[in-house]
A and B are shown apart, each in its own frame.
Chain A
Amino acid sequence: MSLLNVSALHKYYGENHVLKGVDLSVREGEVVAVIGRSGSGKSTLLRTLNGLETINDGVIEVDGEYVDATRADLRSLRQKVGMVFQQFNLFPHLTAGENVMLAVKVVKKLPHADAERLARQMLDKVGLAEKFDAYPERLSGGQQQRVAIARALAMSPKVLLCDEITSALDPELVNEVLAVVKQLASEGMTLVMVTHEMRFAREVGSKLVFMHHGKVHEVGDPRELFANPQTAEMQQFIGSVD
């Protein structure tokens, strides 16, 4: 039984046909790495999964939530799908702790004391317990991204979407963020990540999706696919990034 199911998904930006019938299913606990050239539609696919982008045709189902071109209950969908961005997007006027607490209080209606306990727990999980009162501008990129992960986790999502979350980081900060993701994966969190970290996709991923021209071009076990890509496009892509 899959937790997330996408079928025949189409998305247009005006005349531009970005997603041309994407099918994808993700089981609970799976770590899906989505790779592909820029413009292949991988980020757009990710953004449709929590309703940041509307869809023109097809169906998305996440843990009983149902989205198609005509209807979407975004409030409940988004409580099940967390997202972490390339640019962190922390709230700069709030401390790390407040960033984690905000939606927990506003959306989940948790009382302040409970929200604070949860936030401390989540920051501890990403190794930033002592930064509860720090403002984002005082944190390194890697720390900011870990706060963003803690913020998403505090909503206890069923799936966590990661949109190139290490691409804006200095190289020496990439590993601390990947370590957190790896830990989440080992705890059984379902992850869908658009990434350029091929080594990470191979080591931690349980499924690899290669997007090309708005379609899922190849999908399978990461180790097998990297070792033995079936199509010329993927061979070329792997050759160009390794």
Chain B
Amino acid sequence: MEFTFWDIARNLLTGLEWTLALSLVAFICGGVVGLLVMLARIAPVRWLRILAYSYIELFQGTPLLMQLFIVFFGVALLGTEVSAWLAAAAALTLFTSAFLAEIWRGCVESVSRGQWEASECLAMTRLETLRYVVLPQALRIAVAPTVGFSVQVVKGTAVTSIIGFTELTKTGSMLANATFEPFMVYGLVALGYFALCYPLSRAAYHLERRLNVTA
């Protein structure tokens, strides 16, 4: 069977779409979970803080690949089959949420103590203070590092090729085996990642500069 350049490009584009889809799911789910973990991390309740701290340390302190294996093979041990897609999405969500929780905690803590005290003196509760005073300010600070981290998520999706999820890297390795043109194929794969990540990096850079000037 012969592959034209356009056959290769077309298949890689499909892989790229899956990479993009997985990145989005991981980022959105990771964002929601990450927000909850961050709130637990700064909670007044000690055991919640410890729980959140352990969660963050666990997923930041182990390779993404191991997390992926544990989700994929571990759940299978319990007797249920997990699809590669589901395992990939779950593992990346865990990974993303741990990092976002820690990034966002830093942003919340950079809002000055005086803001908390002023809100307290106005008889606002902790949650009201977070909602109306602290989080809106933390959000501005968080935009740039969050967009910057999304680059790591996109690149992180590449490891899911190992459990057989046919995103960009997996598609690339299959095409490389079939065409015997690994250099060209992987070159295109790299270009695909670059096309996704470069705009994000630029956006993070610009947001950082813009938000810093007015902060």
Q: Which listed residue (A81, A91, A93, A106) contacts B118, Cβ 8 A?
A: A91
10 further A-B contacts with Cβ under 8 Å, apart from A93-B137, A102-B124, are A52-B120, A76-B123, A82-B121, A89-B114, A89-B118, A91-B118, A93-B136, A107-B122, A107-B124, A152-B122
Contacts of B112 in A (CB 8 A): 89
* A103 nearest CB neighbor, chain B only: B122
Q: Is the interface of B mostly helix, strand, loop or mixed?
A: helix
* A83 contacts B121, C-beta separation under 8 Å: yes
Contacts of A212 in B (CB 8 A): none
The A35-81 residues at the B interface (CB cut-off 8 A) are 50-52, 74-76, 78-79, 81
Q: Which residues from chain A sit less than 8 Å from chain B, CB to CB? A: 50-52, 74-76, 78-79, 81-83, 85, 87, 89-93, 102-103, 106-107, 148, 151-152, 155
* B133 nearest CB neighbor, chain A only: A91
Contacts of B128 in A (CB 8 A): 106-107
Q: Which listed residue (A51, A76, A78, A92) contacts B122, Cβ 8 A?
A: A78
Q: Which residues from chain B sit less than 8 Å from chain A, CB to CB? A: 112, 114-115, 117-125, 128, 132-133, 136-137, 140
Given A92-B137, A106-B128, A75:B121 Cβ within 8 A? no
* B136 nearest CB neighbor, chain A only: A93
Whole-angstrom CA separation of A87 from B115 in the bound complex: 10
Whole-angstrom CA separation of A38 from B118 in the bound complex: 22
Whole-angstrom CA separation of A52 from B125 in the bound complex: 13
Contacts of A90 in B (CB 8 A): 118
Q: Which listed residue (B115, B123, B125) contacts A91, Cβ 8 A?
A: B115
**Distance between A74 CB and nearest chain B CB, rounded to angstroms:** 8
Whole-angstrom CA separation of A111 from B140 in the bound complex: 28
Contacts of A79 in B (CB 8 A): 123
Contacts of B115 in A (CB 8 A): 89, 91
Contacts of B123 in A (CB 8 A): 74-76, 78-79, 103, 107, 155
* B117 contacts A78, C-beta separation under 8 Å: no
